[in-house]
Every structure is written in C-alpha cells, then in structure tokens.
Structure 1
Amino acid sequence: MPPATRSAPLLLWETGGNHQVEDGPYRPVVADSWLLVNGRARGYPRHWRRFAASVEECGVAPERVAQFRAAVTEALPRTGSWFPRLELHAGPPQRLALRLRPVPALSERATAWVWPGPDPRRRPRIKGPDFPDQERIRQAAREHGADEALLRDESGRVREGAFSTVWWWHDDVLHTPAADGRILPGVTRDLLLRRCQALGVPVRHRCAYLPELLDSEVWITSALHGIRQVTHIDGRPTAAADQDRLRDWRAHLDALMEPVPDPEAIRPPRFNEETQ
C-alpha cells in the first residue's frame, strides 16, 4: 500500500483491503491520535494498546486490529509534521480508518474556562464516543476567549479538560485526578506518572476546587501539545510556573519521541487453512 498523503485525508479499511475517500460524514465511535514528526512519535505502542482495548469492547477482534496496525504503520508519512487519528466507525459494517491530518499550531501556554454545566460525557474513559459534546464545550471555551474548557465533578471540583489532562503543583507535590473511569487514561499522563515514579516525585490523585488551582502552577497535557502551562482560568491568573522544572519535563517528553516501527516487524502472519 502506498504511503498516505495530504490528498487522502481518510483511509478506510475493509476486510481484505482498503480504499481512500474524501473527508465526509464519517464520525468515530472510538479514536486515538498522536503527534508524528518526521516519522517519530511518542508512546506509539501505548496508543495502539489503548485503541485496541477500546475497539475490542465494540466487538473488533484483536487479529483485525493487528492487521490494521501494520497497514497504518506502513501508510504513515516519514517526513513532515502530522496528527494522525485512528478511528472505528459504527456499522453495519464497522470500519477501521486512519484520518491523516497535518499538525495544527502547537502552543506551550493555554488559557482555560470552566464549563458551567455538568460533565455531559457518557464514556469518558474511551476516546471518541463523546467527541460531539467535547467539541461543543471546547467551542464554547473559545467563544469565551479561552483555549480549553475545564470539566467539573458533581462536587464542583475540576476533573479534566475537554481534550486534556489537568495537573497542578503545590509544595513540590504533583496533583492530578485519578484514572477512576471518569477521565481518559491519557498516554501522556501515563508517561509523566512513570517519570514521577522513577524520580521519586510525590503524586496525589484528586480533583481540586478552582481557588486551589488559581494558587498553583497548572498544566494541561495531551498527545498533541505535550505540556501546556495554564496561565489564566476564567480570566484570572494562576501561580507563576517554575520555568526550569517546566523545561525539564518538556525535554523529557521530547526525548521519548521514537521512530515508528518497521511495518514488517509488527505485521501479523497471514492466516489460512493450511496453518490450522
């Protein structure tokens, strides 16, 4: 299969083959995405494990995901900056797809706005099914002059960003909500928590009320932007960031960018009657 290009924004895989279509009314029920720069990505196997676990809940066999992974890995560009997205489209028939997107503008800082209503997501631990609500909320944040929206739990504590994980530093302790089924188990989140464990950085898993966030150094993380410092929430400034620490943690994430694997190394063996 030839490498995907900007002229093929969506590649749909069917049993026994794939075909290119123009972007249309296809909307994912499961998705996953990562930053790809000159053929290098961060946490590539982790993104695939999360996607495989999510689509398996929808009845997609692991063997089919393995074939899809090899085909996608072959199709990914090895030059330029991209933000590819894996998708499962609802059936019948169910279809696996790669949406190849050029990377949008990246930023190191962000402003946030607190969504005033309850968290509308029904399946927050899976990426994709709640995209319409998340996109609506993020658009509302933009209309209020912010880059990201913050979602709260039933007690009014900040739980997660519309498309990001929330972190804050207080007395050299890093805080972030627990992966208790009510947030997305982010790949970048897991990579940062693993570094905390390796360095002995204390971590507390909990949600915070807005006044505590305003008195803290606040980060939001995502596969696209990595770590962004939140400078304002609802127009009010947060505490100043420790710039040396921030640079160090960003450098750590940059160092985790690795070449995507050779497709032949991960291609599953072909199954036929002779191998039974």
Structure 2
Amino acid sequence: MLSITLKQLELFISVAETKSFSKTADLLAFSQPAVSSNISLLEEILHTELLDRTNKKKIEITEDGLLFYEKAKEILSSCYTLQDMSANRQDSNTVSIGAHNIPARYMVTDVMNYYRKAHNSTKFLLREGSNADIVDLLNQKKIDLGIVSQPISNSKFKSLPIFNDSISLALPNTPRYQCLLMKKPTLEEILLKETFIWDNSLNDVVSYYLEKLGYRKNDLNIIAEFNSEQLAKDSVIDGLGLAFLSKISLKCAIKSAEVLTYDIPEPPHRTIMVVYNQKTHLNNAGTAFMAFLNSGTFDFEKCYR
C-alpha cells in the first residue's frame, strides 16, 4: 500500500498556493517533472483529483483539493512543531550549518575558529553541498543556517549578505605564463589566444561578465570543463590552461605561488549569503551565532582580500 509522504504534502501545498508546477520547482529546488509526478501519485493514493489542469496557463484547486489543502497544512504544521521540539531537546550549544562548496571549504572554518575564541562551548555540525542541496536541507529543517553563493527566491527564507566573492583569472605559474604577464597583454588578447579551463559552478557569473565585454563562452578556446572548482583549480596548477575562479579558493594557491593571476577590469563577483528558514526556531547557540554574523565583528573583507 502506497503511503503519503511529507514531501508530497509540501509540494502540493506549494502548487496550490502558487498555482504553478514551475514556480514550485524553483522554490523547493525540484525538477518540474518530479513535482508533477509527486502530485499525480498523491492523487492516485487519495483516489481523487486535487488540481484542475484544464487551463494550462493557471492551475486551479478542486473542491477536494481545497479540503485536502487545509488538512495538509495542519499536518505539516504539527510535524514542524514536533521537529522544533526535538531540536530544542538536543544540545542547545550546537549550530548545524549547510554550506555551498566554496564557503564550506575556504570560509566557514575560519569563521568558526574566530567565533569559538569567545564562545568555546559552541559546537558546529557542518554539511557541504550545492546551493540546491542547502535549500533542501533548510526546507526539511535538517540545518539551522545555510551559506549559499546565489540568491534564493523563496519568501520562507531570510538572507543576510556577508561577503562579495570576486572572480579572478588564474594562470599556471610557469615560465611561459610569467613571460606572458611581463608583456602586459590586454584581456582581449588573452581571451582570444589562450587555452581555458571552464568551471561550470561559475557558469552564470562568468558568462554574464563575458557578455558585458562583448564575448561569449564559445569564443574562448576551452579544452576542458569541470563541475568542480577544485578540479578546475588543480588543472590550472598543473599547467593545462587558464580559468576564471573564485578569489577565495585561490588564496592559498596564490600565497604558495602555485598560480599567477591577471588583473581583470571590473572583476565579476557573487554574493555569499547566510540564509535561514523563518519557520524554524533557532536554539540559543544558533541565535547567538546569527547575531555574531550580523554584527560585522568578523571582517570578511579584510580576511579574504
């Protein structure tokens, strides 16, 4: 016998409120087919139509759907209350954080270390993942705070910008590229003549920057693409080519002279933000840590410039 899941309830409530599968997919970080199939399965379990799909431009909720919507909200509300009660019984000195790959690897531990100098009883539980992973963890109330590198368009979440991560153009530190920089080439010469590594995690930011300069991704001689910033950086260090990379991620490689950088004009950036679910009650440690981040006590600009 098939059972109704809390995720199906959450998806149905969102579709009923937004009257759109695509908006629900964006809000809850699901694919549109996954949203549609979950709602169809829910209707199959209940043996009734919850949504009227005859108007493709705007989904309407049926009478049965309206009744189910009210009950579904009550059930989810009760579940969230139980989750909060359970969380409050856990160690009140623990802050659970989900962080996107770049801040997780290069920022969060610095902030934790600084914070614990004055709050040595605080413990941290850190999870690393994509921005979509962090949104999902926040929705499921499995973490207190999320640290992401792109805006989240969901009214349930409140965001606090903490740092603008600049994008740098990294080059292998080899005699060839040392000579290249000594010649002071223009950015146009570099873009059209050199070989590149493409970091797909920065695709939107770098593509937009290139478009402002009058170029497209296809104009570059890209010999390798990676979905991992670490692999892209390692490829530059190994001499495979140039890459647009996060300045934070390059900090140690620059300091150890593993890579060179070219000063690009008006470098693009992405905003690193702390987000939390407004429906989640933070414990004392989470509230104190959020207040610390909001106070500006930790100087991100000084630390990562």
Q: Same fold (TM over 0.5)?
A: no
| Structure with the bigger percentage of helix | 2
Q: Which has the larger radius of gyration?
A: 2
TM-score w.r.t. the length of structure 1 is 0.28
